[in-house]
Amino acid sequence: MIKEFLKEHGDYRDDRSFKDLTTIKMGGEIAHYVEPYNIDDLKQIIGFLKRYHVPFKTIGNGSNLICGSSRYEGVVISLKHFDNYEFDNDICYVEAGVMVPYLVQVMLKNGLKDLEFASGIPGTVGGLIYMNAGAYKKEMSDIVKEVIVLKDDEIVKMTNEELKFKYRYSIFQEHPRWLIIAAYLKLEKGDMEETKAIILDRANRRKQSQPIEMPSAGSCFRNPENDFAWKLIDGIGYRGKKINDIEVSTKHSNFIINTANGTGEDYLKLALDIQEKVYKKYNIKLIMEVEKFNC
Protein backbone atom coordinates (compact mmCIF):
# COMPACT_ATOMS: atom_id res chain seq x y z
CA MET A 1 0.00 0.00 0.00
CA ILE A 2 2.77 2.46 0.90
CA LYS A 3 4.72 1.74 -2.27
CA GLU A 4 1.73 2.22 -4.55
CA PHE A 5 0.74 5.51 -2.89
CA LEU A 6 4.23 6.96 -3.06
CA LYS A 7 4.56 6.01 -6.73
CA GLU A 8 1.48 8.13 -7.47
CA HIS A 9 3.03 11.24 -5.94
CA GLY A 10 6.72 11.15 -6.80
CA ASP A 11 9.74 9.33 -8.18
CA TYR A 12 9.93 6.18 -6.06
CA ARG A 13 12.65 3.63 -5.34
CA ASP A 14 13.02 0.80 -2.86
CA ASP A 15 16.70 0.07 -3.48
CA ARG A 16 18.35 3.13 -1.93
CA SER A 17 20.60 3.32 1.12
CA PHE A 18 21.96 6.20 3.18
CA LYS A 19 25.34 5.28 1.76
CA ASP A 20 24.03 6.57 -1.60
CA LEU A 21 22.48 9.69 -0.10
CA THR A 22 25.12 11.10 2.27
CA THR A 23 28.41 12.83 1.50
CA ILE A 24 30.20 10.65 4.06
CA LYS A 25 28.99 7.58 2.11
CA MET A 26 27.72 5.38 4.90
CA GLY A 27 24.47 4.15 6.38
CA GLY A 28 21.93 1.36 6.08
CA GLU A 29 19.34 0.42 3.49
CA ILE A 30 16.05 2.32 3.16
CA ALA A 31 12.65 0.63 2.83
CA HIS A 32 11.06 3.45 0.82
CA TYR A 33 12.54 6.50 -0.95
CA VAL A 34 10.52 9.14 -2.80
CA GLU A 35 11.05 12.50 -4.51
CA PRO A 36 7.68 14.32 -4.49
CA TYR A 37 6.85 16.14 -7.73
CA ASN A 38 5.50 19.32 -6.09
CA ILE A 39 4.07 20.84 -2.92
CA ASP A 40 0.66 19.21 -3.35
CA ASP A 41 2.28 15.78 -3.71
CA LEU A 42 4.45 16.47 -0.67
CA LYS A 43 1.38 17.38 1.40
CA GLN A 44 -0.39 14.23 0.20
CA ILE A 45 2.59 12.08 1.15
CA ILE A 46 3.08 13.65 4.59
CA GLY A 47 -0.63 13.37 5.36
CA PHE A 48 -0.69 9.72 4.32
CA LEU A 49 2.37 8.83 6.40
CA LYS A 50 1.02 10.60 9.47
CA ARG A 51 -2.38 8.97 9.08
CA TYR A 52 -0.87 5.49 9.03
CA HIS A 53 1.88 6.28 11.57
CA VAL A 54 4.68 5.53 9.12
CA PRO A 55 8.04 7.03 10.21
CA PHE A 56 9.69 9.36 7.70
CA LYS A 57 12.76 11.49 7.26
CA THR A 58 13.22 14.46 4.92
CA ILE A 59 16.73 15.01 3.56
CA GLY A 60 18.62 17.45 1.37
CA ASN A 61 22.02 16.52 -0.01
CA GLY A 62 22.96 14.50 3.09
CA SER A 63 26.06 16.62 3.63
CA ASN A 64 25.59 16.92 7.39
CA LEU A 65 24.05 13.55 8.15
CA ILE A 66 25.42 10.56 10.08
CA CYS A 67 23.29 7.41 9.74
CA GLY A 68 23.49 4.03 11.40
CA SER A 69 24.03 0.73 9.61
CA SER A 70 20.64 -0.83 10.33
CA ARG A 71 17.89 -0.84 7.71
CA TYR A 72 15.46 2.08 8.01
CA GLU A 73 11.91 0.76 7.75
CA GLY A 74 10.34 4.17 7.14
CA VAL A 75 10.19 6.58 4.20
CA VAL A 76 12.96 8.94 3.14
CA ILE A 77 11.66 12.03 1.34
CA SER A 78 13.99 14.03 -0.88
CA LEU A 79 13.05 17.49 -2.16
CA LYS A 80 15.20 17.22 -5.29
CA HIS A 81 12.29 18.32 -7.49
CA PHE A 82 12.00 21.53 -5.45
CA ASP A 83 14.64 23.20 -7.59
CA ASN A 84 13.10 26.43 -8.87
CA TYR A 85 14.45 29.91 -8.28
CA GLU A 86 13.97 33.44 -9.55
CA PHE A 87 15.46 36.86 -8.94
CA ASP A 88 13.59 40.11 -8.43
CA ASN A 89 16.30 42.78 -8.22
CA ASP A 90 18.18 41.88 -5.01
CA ILE A 91 15.62 39.37 -3.68
CA CYS A 92 16.07 35.73 -4.60
CA TYR A 93 13.20 33.27 -4.28
CA VAL A 94 14.70 29.78 -4.10
CA GLU A 95 13.24 26.36 -3.33
CA ALA A 96 14.68 24.08 -0.69
CA GLY A 97 16.19 21.49 -3.04
CA VAL A 98 18.50 23.87 -4.91
CA MET A 99 22.19 23.13 -4.31
CA VAL A 100 23.89 26.18 -2.80
CA PRO A 101 27.13 26.04 -4.87
CA TYR A 102 24.93 26.14 -8.00
CA LEU A 103 22.90 29.04 -6.60
CA VAL A 104 26.12 30.96 -5.97
CA GLN A 105 26.98 30.72 -9.66
CA VAL A 106 23.50 31.91 -10.65
CA MET A 107 23.85 34.75 -8.13
CA LEU A 108 27.06 35.85 -9.84
CA LYS A 109 25.38 35.94 -13.24
CA ASN A 110 22.78 38.26 -11.76
CA GLY A 111 25.44 40.63 -10.46
CA LEU A 112 24.72 39.87 -6.80
CA LYS A 113 26.83 38.98 -3.77
CA ASP A 114 26.54 37.91 -0.10
CA LEU A 115 26.17 34.14 -0.62
CA GLU A 116 29.81 33.54 -1.52
CA PHE A 117 30.56 32.43 2.08
CA ALA A 118 28.57 29.25 1.33
CA SER A 119 30.07 28.51 -2.09
CA GLY A 120 32.03 25.52 -0.78
CA ILE A 121 29.26 23.95 1.31
CA PRO A 122 27.86 20.92 -0.59
CA GLY A 123 24.31 21.29 0.70
CA THR A 124 20.86 22.43 -0.35
CA VAL A 125 19.22 25.72 0.55
CA GLY A 126 16.86 23.92 2.92
CA GLY A 127 19.68 22.10 4.66
CA LEU A 128 21.77 25.24 5.12
CA ILE A 129 18.83 27.15 6.60
CA TYR A 130 18.01 24.24 8.93
CA MET A 131 21.57 24.31 10.31
CA ASN A 132 22.07 28.06 9.91
CA ALA A 133 25.25 27.05 8.14
CA GLY A 134 28.03 29.56 7.76
CA ALA A 135 31.68 30.29 7.11
CA TYR A 136 34.02 33.26 7.17
CA LYS A 137 31.98 34.98 9.91
CA LYS A 138 28.75 34.95 7.87
CA GLU A 139 25.68 32.71 8.25
CA MET A 140 22.44 32.00 6.41
CA SER A 141 20.64 34.09 9.03
CA ASP A 142 22.38 37.15 7.57
CA ILE A 143 20.60 36.80 4.24
CA VAL A 144 17.34 34.91 4.94
CA LYS A 145 14.37 37.27 4.79
CA GLU A 146 11.49 34.78 4.94
CA VAL A 147 11.00 31.02 4.71
CA ILE A 148 8.01 29.17 3.28
CA VAL A 149 7.25 26.20 5.54
CA LEU A 150 4.94 23.21 5.52
CA LYS A 151 3.91 23.52 9.16
CA ASP A 152 1.21 21.34 10.70
CA ASP A 153 -0.22 20.53 7.25
CA GLU A 154 -0.42 24.21 6.24
CA ILE A 155 1.85 26.33 4.05
CA VAL A 156 2.97 29.39 6.04
CA LYS A 157 5.58 32.12 5.81
CA MET A 158 7.99 32.62 8.70
CA THR A 159 10.14 35.71 9.12
CA ASN A 160 13.82 35.76 10.00
CA GLU A 161 12.96 36.72 13.58
CA GLU A 162 10.54 33.81 13.96
CA LEU A 163 13.25 31.32 12.98
CA LYS A 164 15.24 32.05 16.20
CA PHE A 165 18.58 31.78 14.43
CA LYS A 166 21.67 31.29 16.55
CA TYR A 167 25.12 29.85 15.83
CA ARG A 168 24.46 26.63 13.86
CA TYR A 169 20.84 26.63 15.04
CA SER A 170 17.33 27.37 13.78
CA ILE A 171 13.86 26.66 15.17
CA PHE A 172 13.55 23.76 12.70
CA GLN A 173 15.89 21.68 14.84
CA GLU A 174 13.23 21.77 17.57
CA HIS A 175 10.46 20.98 15.07
CA PRO A 176 11.76 18.36 12.62
CA ARG A 177 8.26 17.93 11.13
CA TRP A 178 8.23 21.55 9.94
CA LEU A 179 9.51 21.27 6.38
CA ILE A 180 11.34 24.10 4.62
CA ILE A 181 9.83 24.50 1.15
CA ALA A 182 11.48 27.68 -0.11
CA ALA A 183 13.07 30.92 1.05
CA TYR A 184 13.46 34.56 0.13
CA LEU A 185 17.09 35.67 0.35
CA LYS A 186 18.12 39.32 0.57
CA LEU A 187 21.31 39.85 -1.42
CA GLU A 188 23.20 42.95 -2.57
CA LYS A 189 24.49 44.23 -5.87
CA GLY A 190 28.20 43.60 -6.23
CA ASP A 191 31.18 43.57 -8.52
CA MET A 192 31.13 40.17 -10.25
CA GLU A 193 34.89 39.94 -10.80
CA GLU A 194 35.63 40.88 -7.20
CA THR A 195 33.13 38.32 -5.90
CA LYS A 196 34.56 35.64 -8.23
CA ALA A 197 38.04 36.35 -6.87
CA ILE A 198 36.81 35.92 -3.28
CA ILE A 199 35.15 32.60 -4.16
CA LEU A 200 38.27 31.33 -5.92
CA ASP A 201 40.53 32.35 -3.04
CA ARG A 202 38.33 30.57 -0.52
CA ALA A 203 38.11 27.47 -2.71
CA ASN A 204 41.90 27.32 -2.77
CA ARG A 205 42.06 27.75 1.00
CA ARG A 206 39.56 24.92 1.51
CA LYS A 207 41.54 22.66 -0.81
CA GLN A 208 44.68 23.30 1.21
CA SER A 209 43.14 23.05 4.68
CA GLN A 210 40.21 20.60 4.44
CA PRO A 211 40.01 16.94 3.32
CA ILE A 212 37.56 17.72 0.51
CA GLU A 213 38.84 14.73 -1.46
CA MET A 214 37.56 12.31 1.23
CA PRO A 215 33.97 11.41 2.21
CA SER A 216 32.94 13.41 5.28
CA ALA A 217 29.99 15.22 6.82
CA GLY A 218 31.88 18.49 7.14
CA SER A 219 32.84 19.85 10.55
CA CYS A 220 31.99 17.40 13.29
CA PHE A 221 31.81 19.87 16.19
CA ARG A 222 30.69 23.45 16.64
CA ASN A 223 33.42 25.86 17.66
CA PRO A 224 33.17 26.73 21.36
CA GLU A 225 32.98 30.41 22.23
CA ASN A 226 36.37 32.07 21.77
CA ASP A 227 38.02 28.81 20.71
CA PHE A 228 38.30 26.32 17.85
CA ALA A 229 37.24 22.68 17.97
CA TRP A 230 40.22 21.58 15.88
CA LYS A 231 42.66 23.09 18.38
CA LEU A 232 41.05 21.21 21.26
CA ILE A 233 41.10 17.96 19.28
CA ASP A 234 44.78 18.52 18.49
CA GLY A 235 45.31 19.24 22.18
CA ILE A 236 44.19 15.74 23.15
CA GLY A 237 46.41 14.24 20.46
CA TYR A 238 43.59 12.95 18.27
CA ARG A 239 44.67 14.21 14.85
CA GLY A 240 44.81 10.99 12.81
CA LYS A 241 43.01 8.96 15.50
CA LYS A 242 41.18 6.03 13.92
CA ILE A 243 38.44 3.54 14.73
CA ASN A 244 38.29 0.95 11.96
CA ASP A 245 37.65 2.96 8.74
CA ILE A 246 36.64 6.18 10.52
CA GLU A 247 39.47 8.65 11.04
CA VAL A 248 40.11 12.14 12.39
CA SER A 249 41.56 13.88 9.35
CA THR A 250 45.26 14.67 9.50
CA LYS A 251 44.52 17.69 7.30
CA HIS A 252 41.85 19.24 9.55
CA SER A 253 41.09 17.59 12.87
CA ASN A 254 37.49 18.81 13.09
CA PHE A 255 36.72 16.65 10.04
CA ILE A 256 36.06 12.96 10.65
CA ILE A 257 36.42 11.08 7.39
CA ASN A 258 35.37 7.73 5.98
CA THR A 259 38.52 6.09 4.62
CA ALA A 260 36.80 3.01 3.16
CA ASN A 261 33.74 1.28 4.63
CA GLY A 262 33.14 3.28 7.79
CA THR A 263 29.94 3.08 9.85
CA GLY A 264 27.85 5.63 11.68
CA GLU A 265 28.33 3.63 14.87
CA ASP A 266 32.12 3.98 14.65
CA TYR A 267 31.79 7.68 13.79
CA LEU A 268 29.71 8.34 16.89
CA LYS A 269 32.03 6.22 19.04
CA LEU A 270 35.00 8.30 17.95
CA ALA A 271 33.08 11.58 18.35
CA LEU A 272 31.98 10.62 21.88
CA ASP A 273 35.56 9.69 22.76
CA ILE A 274 36.70 13.13 21.58
CA GLN A 275 33.99 14.86 23.62
CA GLU A 276 34.99 12.98 26.78
CA LYS A 277 38.72 13.61 26.37
CA VAL A 278 38.25 17.32 25.59
CA TYR A 279 35.95 17.79 28.57
CA LYS A 280 38.35 15.98 30.87
CA LYS A 281 41.34 18.08 29.75
CA TYR A 282 39.76 21.49 29.10
CA ASN A 283 36.39 21.38 30.90
CA ILE A 284 34.77 22.31 27.58
CA LYS A 285 31.74 20.47 26.19
CA LEU A 286 32.05 20.10 22.44
CA ILE A 287 28.64 20.08 20.72
CA MET A 288 28.23 17.99 17.59
CA GLU A 289 27.38 19.95 14.46
CA VAL A 290 26.38 16.90 12.41
CA GLU A 291 22.89 15.41 12.59
CA LYS A 292 22.54 11.83 13.83
CA PHE A 293 19.83 9.57 12.44
CA ASN A 294 18.85 5.93 12.85
CA CYS A 295 21.82 5.22 15.12
C-beta separation of 196 from 235 below 8 A:
no
61 closest CA partner among 96, 106, 105, 10: 96
Q: Is 209 a catalytic residue?
A: no
List the Cα angle 248/250/251 in 5-degree steps.
115
Alpha carbon of 124 to those of 8, 27, 79, 169: distances in Å? 25, 20, 9, 16
Rounded distance between C-alpha atoms, residue 147 and residue 185, angstroms: 9
The whole-angstrom distance between residue 165's C-alpha and the CA centroid of its chain comes to 15
First and final C-alpha spacing in the chain: 27
CA dihedral 224, 229, 235, 240 (to 10 degrees): 160
| H-run or E-run covering 222 | none
DSSP structural state of residue 212 = T
Rounded distance between C-alpha atoms, residue 219 and residue 255, angstroms: 5
- Given 116, 139, 247, 289, which residue is catalytic? 289
C-beta separation of 196 from 104 below 8 A:
no
Specify the amino acid at residue 276.
Answer: E
Rounded distance between C-alpha atoms, residue 139 and residue 228, angstroms: 17
- Given 17, 216, 219, 253, which residue is catalytic? 219
Would you mind telling me the total number of residues written for the chain in this entry? 295
Q: Is 289 a catalytic residue?
A: yes
- Given 168, 170, 216, 253, which residue is catalytic? 168
Catalytic positions: 168, 219, 289
